[in-house]
Amino acid sequence: MSDCHGCQFEALHTGAHGQHTVALVGPPNSGKSTLFNRLTGLRQKVANFPGVTVEQHTGRAKVKAQRDVVLIDLPGIYSLKPCSEDERVTHDVLTGRMPGTAKPNAILLILDSTNLARHLTLAVPILSLNIPTLVILNMADDLRSRAGTVDPAALAAQLGAPVALVSAATGEGVDKVFRFLEGTAAGDHRPNAPLIQLPVIQDVPKCRQWAMRVGQGSAYQAPTPSVWTRRLDSIFLHPVWGIVMFGVVVLAVFQTIFSGAAPLMNLVQNAISSSGIWLATILPDNFVRSLLIDGVWKGVGSVIVFLPQILLLFLFIGILEDSGYLARAAVIADRSMRRVGLQGKSFIPLLSAYACAVPAILSTRTIENKRDRIATIMIAPFMTCSARLPVYALLIASFIPERPLLGKFLGTGAATLLGLYLLGFLAAFGTARILKSSLLKSDGTPFVLEMPPYRWPTLQGLALRLYDRAKVFLYRAGTVILLVTVILWATAHLPLHNGKPPEIGNSYVGQLGKTVEPVIAPLGFNWKIGVGLISSLIAREVIVSTLGTLYGSDGNSQSTPLQQALQKDLSLGGAIALLVFFAFAMQCMSTIAVVRRETGGWKWPAAQFTYMLVLAYIGGFTANYVLTHSGTGVLAWLK
């Protein structure tokens, strides 16, 4: 709070801390983020604008200047009329009204050169801001290959602002952007002086006519339609093949993350266990060794193993999104989504919820209708996020014997996993249906979605996504999960009995687990699972490290791998009940926090947490009951 006053003041002048800030502005699908990645590389960070839910991507530009040049990647907008939250944020930042964010010293306006006539309408409100602006005509390679032309010099003369024809994907012409950044940082400010009168901003048809005239005056020749986009759409939006491809894409994602990740995961697993063994040989046998080996290595290590799987999932979603397929998938999904009262735009957040509910809930911003948006937020945590994968993978590997079901294509393990994904999916859609026919009823909401042309995802874009994700995952493993692991190890070894650690059942954590045991016993869970459930309120995957530590600290199971220790300790009914419990329950503090922020209060997250917990308990109880009462038959079938 203390420096807020200063920020406001500085915002009017040179920007906070003498930095030179440059805003990236452009319509959705103009390649803004690709350019941002190219200009900043790894020197970027993601935060939230204060008070709103819009993500703020900032990064230092790789330029030689006396001052740091900080780039802000603003949300994609079609106009500067503050209609949606995204547009309001962009509007407020550009006019210097966003608290804590300095008014930018310069603007990079990124337009898609293959669709210049329409994108130029955004130049009207941006140029009237009187901030030094570089107009970037992106996708120059596409324009050329599809026989379009434009004269940047003629356009610059008409707009009174410099124009650069670039391709952010290939790097062509990006040097001009760097030169502009260096120039403005050195104080080379030239306000825009458009040669032709700007039209009234609010009048869309007038703006469009203006853009048309400017385009004609710049010898703009629109490119021929992308042949490849048409060809691919004739498959992906085909009445029959479209649905087949949709199914193939979804199945391929699941099969690859489950079986394709295995070799990588084995590699990580081996690295962790051999380093643990090596560490055990060099350390003296005391409590430090016990903490490191039984606590940290077994606990944190059991979570880090899943890094390859999670990265693979994010890689797939990144490819689907960057290539332009997700927009088509949303069109195909719209009909089914409508049946439960939602719309195609909810499909994109729900698909990314398979990776993580937090970015998914943030991406519901694109849904204009508030009730649709809340309904999507409410059901997103049911989608099987990557944090559930470690739990599922551990239990499936321990309790479901691997047998081929459909030849090589589908084994019992993958089928169980698919079943759990389906369970979450059905719970989500059932809930949506209930919500949209009661509390969140709304009449016909519009579905308007631009289909971007298909493009090759850039390696840099994908690599940055994975880098970000790995950083978040490892950061969590190194902080929260490490802390929980150490606390667990300590409470599992205290109170000391005659100077020696107690038997684990008599330790503090054992006492805690045994207190909750009666509540969870009907689900077939023992007290160790109970401790796991409590610790997994922080994040789902924590249960794996907790069980790793608990069984690692237990004299009876210390030398056995976690899988075998679980097999001895948990019935099949209890294991399946645990899987079902995790499919439904909302054990994730980050999700609860983000839902609270997005819905503006505790009402929705509290209702959501309770509802999902009750559903998880009932589901777990039913699974355990059915399996213990008809368990022999199921077991016989499995064997």
Partner 1 sequence: MQLSVNSGSRTGPNRLADLREGDHGVIDRLDLPEDLARRLMELGFLPGNGITAARSAPGGDPRVFRVDGSEIALRRDTACRVFLRR
Peptide bond connecting 495 to the previous residue in cis, omega within 30 degrees of 0: yes
332 in contact with partner 1 (CB under 8 A)? yes
- What whole-number distance in Å separates Cα of residue 389 and Cα of residue 418? 11
How many residues touch partner 1 under the rule CB under 8 A: the total is 39
Does 331 engage in binding with partner 1 (CB under 8 A)?
Answer: yes
Residue 250 found at the interface with partner 1 (CB under 8 A) = no
Position among 156, 237, 423, 613 found at the interface with partner 1 (CB under 8 A): 237
Q: Does 30 bind partner 1 (CB under 8 A)?
A: no
For 515, counting Cβ atoms within 10 Å of its Cβ (0-12 exposed, 13-18 middle, 19+ buried), the class is exposed
- 146 contacts partner 1 (rule: CB under 8 A): no
Q: How far is the CB of 221 from partner 1 (least distance, A)?
A: 12
Which residues sit opposite 137 in a β-bridge? 111, 165
**Distance of alpha carbon 328 from the chain centroid:** 20
Applying CB under 8 A, the span of 272-280, 439-447, 455-463, 563-571 interacting with partner 1 comes to: 439-447
* Beta-carbon contacts of residue 189 (< 8 Å; ≥ 6 apart): 105, 132
Is residue 327 at the binding interface for partner 1, with CB under 8 A as the rule? yes
- Kindly tell me which residue out of 30, 33, 44, 121 binds partner 1, with binding defined by CB under 8 A: 121
Question: Which range in 228-236, 372-380, 390-398, 577-585 contacts partner 1 by CB under 8 A?
Answer: 228-236
Residue 90 lies near partner 1 (rule: CB under 8 A): no
Polymer length in residues for the chain: 639
79 binds partner 1 (CB under 8 A): yes
Between vectors from CA 73 to CA 14 and to CA 137, what angle results, nearest 5°?
100
Strand order in the sheet with 69-73: 44-48, 55-60, 69-73, 20-25, 106-112, 133-138, 163-165
Q: Does the protein bind partner 1 through residue 418 (CB under 8 A)?
A: no
Binding of partner 1 at residue 446 (CB under 8 A)? yes
What would the two tokens of residue 493 be? 């070894």
Check binding of 249 to partner 1 (CB under 8 A).
no
Compute the distance between CA of residue 421 and CA of residue 254 in angstroms, rounded to an integer: 9
* Residue 118 near partner 1 by CB under 8 A: yes
Q: Given candidates 419, 450, 614, 635, which one binds partner 1 under the rule CB under 8 A?
A: 450
Relative orientation angle of helices 542-553 and 482-492, to the nearest 10 degrees:
30
The minimum distance between CB 241 and partner 1, in angstroms, equals 10
81 is an interface residue for partner 1 by CB under 8 A: yes
372 interacts with partner 1 by CB under 8 A = no
Pick the binder of partner 1 from 78, 178, 604, 625 (CB under 8 A). 78
> Could you say whether residue 243 binds partner 1 (CB under 8 A)?
yes
Q: Among residues 179, 208, 213, 597, which is the contact residue for partner 1, using CB under 8 A?
A: 208
Q: How far apart are CA 327 and CA 28, in angstroms?
A: 12
Residue 614's CB: how many other CB atoms inside 10 A? 12
Q: Give the residues across from 55 on adjacent strands.
A: 48
Closer CB to partner 1, 81 or 597, in the complex:
81
Query: Residues 300, 318: contact at Cβ < 8 Å?
Result: no
Give the count of alpha carbons within 13 A of 489, CB side only. Answer: 24
Q: Interface residues for partner 1 in 543-602 (CB under 8 A)? A: none
Q: Is 448 in the site for partner 1 (CB under 8 A)?
A: yes
Residue ranges binding partner 1 (CB under 8 A): 78-79, 81, 83, 114-115, 117-118, 121, 204-205, 208, 222, 225, 229, 233-234, 237-240, 242-243, 327, 330-332, 334-335, 343-344, 368, 444, 446-451
